Structure 1
């Protein structure tokens, strides 16, 4: 099962704008990086 955040980053069936998907992927990656720093 996907987490809520993963659902948000996966493009929806009608969402084919690559720029939008790229921005979401970058946001998700930076959030994951910030989370790793917190855990250390």
Structure 2
């Protein structure tokens, strides 16, 4: 986030990429699990 701010990049896009990389890297989750439609479905 700090690097994105210094480079005057879009902070929302940088945060989205960070979250995606964190969940995929840490938990092996698929990007589909971060999909808004998937989040709305009951368990």
TM-score scaled by length of structure 2: 0.46
Greater gyration radius? 2
TM-score scaled by length of structure 1: 0.48
